[in-house]
A and B are shown apart, each in its own frame.
Chain A
């Protein structure tokens, strides 16, 4: 089991563009959470998906949206990119009954120019 995988590894976009990041959860996991980690900061919770629905959301604008597919994989979409969206985006998977125990992916480094 490769654990949680994310793609792409790195991404460069310009302001105003849209981006889609992808995540495959650890085998057997059904819940996916997304985090934004700015330089020098801890991860900040964006939202969590379970049964293809957004279950919980952090303090992020509607420009940040997501999706979960029947195979439990997930996408994070960010519209109208701002310079401040430059960060490492982490995906974490868990079992719905144990969302306190999350397994993290390696992250996608997004740079907005």
Chain B
């Protein structure tokens, strides 16, 4: 069965510092992985997907099949990046989410 693990519940960084959110997965096959974000008082929304290899709001994520990881990175964190971040994997039409990481960016 697929599983998504986000080992950090909380992450606090200073504005302008790099930020990296860890995500590990277990899945037999070729995974499709995503990062979702939930800003304060907003609904859960898609941030990026590995298949499109895009950078959204300065965030990137690389799929490492050898380490079964899909870490989310941003070189210079901004205060507006403070939010809850969820890593997710899709299989058979359903999304499996990790427990989430709360990111706080301090001025």
Residue of A nearest to B96 (CB): A45
In the assembled complex, B44 has its CB within 8 A of some CB on chain A? yes
Interface size grouping (class) on chain B: 20 to 34
- Partner of A100 from the list B4, B32, B44, B98 (CB cut-off 8 Å) is B32
> Is the Cβ of B92 less than 8 Å from the Cβ of A56?
yes
> Is the Cβ of B43 less than 8 Å from the Cβ of A42?
no
Bitwise, A34-75 to B at CB < 8 A (1) or not (0) is: 010000111111001000000110100000000000000000
On chain A, the number of residues with a Cβ less than 8 Å from chain B's Cβ atoms is 26
> Is the Cβ of B98 less than 8 Å from the Cβ of A42?
yes
Smallest beta-carbon distance B82→chain A, Å = 18
The interface of chain B, by Cβ under 8 A from chain A, is: 4, 6, 9, 32, 34, 43-46, 49, 86, 88, 90, 92-100
